[in-house]
Amino acid sequence: MKRMKPLALAAVGVLGLAALAGGATLATAASSASTAITARQANFKKMGGAMKTLKDELSGGADKAKMIAAAKTIAAAGRKQGDLFPAGTGPSSGAKTDALAAIWSDRATFDAGMKKMIAEADKLAAVAGSGDASAIRAQFTATGKSCGACHRQFRADN
């Protein structure tokens, strides 16, 4: 067996390392995509659950503390969402997501919609403790519409 020259050996080693590193980078990208997706989905579920709490309270007990907490949950979770849609976490990432590619091709509209939703949720938190059922209901509807507006444009399965 012919011995490999040290240089060739080194080259093979470097290539191997590069391949490993490349693979690792890909794996990291994939797992960070799915981390972002999992995190934003959990946030959206929190927000949906909080919306339901508000709706339940509006048609039932109208518990002020519960409504304020729910509205604040929506605003707080909403504030985290913008950062959880980094490039590469759309449908092309291969991960299971209803996020449409339009989010990244029309990012300005998406971000504006997100901002609007946070603003509406803040207003909802402000009015939730007022005891004025019709004002709360109106702001609840405005908040809900801000969810739906984006979902129709940027979410699949709708």
Partner 1 sequence: MTESPIAGSTRVWDLPVRLFHWLLVPLIAFSWWSGEEHYMDWHRLSGYAILALLVFRIWWGFAGSRTARFGQFVRSPGTVLAYAKTLGSRSAHAADGHNPLGGWSVIAMLAVLVTMVVAGLFAVDVDGFESGPLADYVTFDQGRAAAEFHETVFNAIVALVALHVAAIVFYLGFKRLNLVRPMITGRRARAAGEAAADVRWSPLLALVGLVLAGAIAWAVSTGFRF
Residues within the interface to partner 1 (CB under 8 A): 44-45, 47-56, 59-60, 143-145, 147-148, 151-152, 155, 158
In one-letter notation, the amino acid at residue 10 is: A
What minimum distance in Å lies between the beta carbon of 73 and partner 1? 11
What minimum distance in Å lies between the beta carbon of 67 and partner 1? 13
In one-letter notation, the amino acid at residue 76 is: A
Give the nearer residue to partner 1 in terms of CB position, either 32 or 66. 66
The residues that bridge with 97 in the sheet, in sequence order, are none
Give the nearer residue to partner 1 in terms of CB position, either 55 or 88. 55
What are the start-end ranges of the H helices in 59-106?
64-81, 102-105
Q: How far apart are CA 35 and CA 60, in angstroms?
A: 37
SS3 of residue 155 by DSSP: strand
Single out the residue of 78, 58, 63 nearest to residue 141, CA to CA. 58
What minimum distance in Å lies between the beta carbon of 83 and partner 1? 21
Give the nearer residue to partner 1 in terms of CB position, either 59 or 105. 59
What minimum distance in Å lies between the beta carbon of 34 and partner 1? 20
Q: Is 139 exposed, middle or buried (0-12, 13-18, 19+ CB in 10 A)?
A: buried
Give the nearer residue to partner 1 in terms of CB position, either 45 or 107. 45
